[in-house]
Amino acid sequence: MGGPIQSAVAASLRRRTPKFSHLPAWIREVRPGRRVQWYTSLKMSQALPIPPPGFDALSVDDQIDYVQTLWDRIAARPEDVPVPDWHREIITERLAAHRTNKEQGKEWEEVEREITNELSERNS
């Protein structure tokens, strides 16, 4: 699986991997081909340093890239990410409201067009 977005993210990560080379091995391990594998041998009962060593030395852009890489790793396994009951309750409420009055909602294309127009107006 994987589309253009995943390919672009992967390419971006390959370009940016060397920026994390000074971080400890428990945070990352660089494999041949500049593929990054994140791992930890620590048990969750052991406290991980927050932020990890070397993180504050990164530029803000690199810090964002680092956090995005962590999130991408978590998001790659959606079945492992628990959905809280309160999220399910909100979804149930919103679906019920939509089913009650289907005319109240908007098509995605219309919402996207409105957002794009609003952003264009702000930038001009």
What is the pLDDT tens value at each position of the chain, 124 positions in all?
455 555 555 555 554 444 555 555 444 444 434 444 444 444 555 677 788 889 999 999 999 999 999 999 998 998 888 899 999 999 999 999 989 988 888 889 999 999 999 999 988 8
Which residues are within 8 A (CB) of 29 and not within 5 positions of it... i.e. 6 or more apart?
Answer: 36, 37, 39
pLDDT of 118: 94
Sorted by sequence, the CB contacts under 8 Å of residue 81 that are 6+ apart come out as: 74, 75
User: Count of residues for the chain?
Assistant: 124
Q: Is the dihedral of CA 74, 78, 80, 84 positive or negative?
A: positive
Q: Which residues contact 120 (CB under 8 A, 6 or more apart)?
A: none
This prediction's pTM: 0.40
Residues 106, 51, single domain; the answer is: no
Amino acid at 105: G
| Residues 113 and 99 placed together within one structural domain of the fold | yes
| Of the candidates 2, 4, 23, 33, the residue with the CA atom closest to the CA atom of residue 67 | 23
Domain limits for position 64: 4-80
| Residues 92, 73 share a domain | no
Is 92 found in the same domain as 111? yes
Domain count, the chain: 2
Q: Are residues 27 and 67 in the same domain?
A: yes
| Domain identity same for 29 and 65 | yes
pLDDT of residue 43: 54
pLDDT of residue 11: 53
Residues 42, 8 share a domain: yes
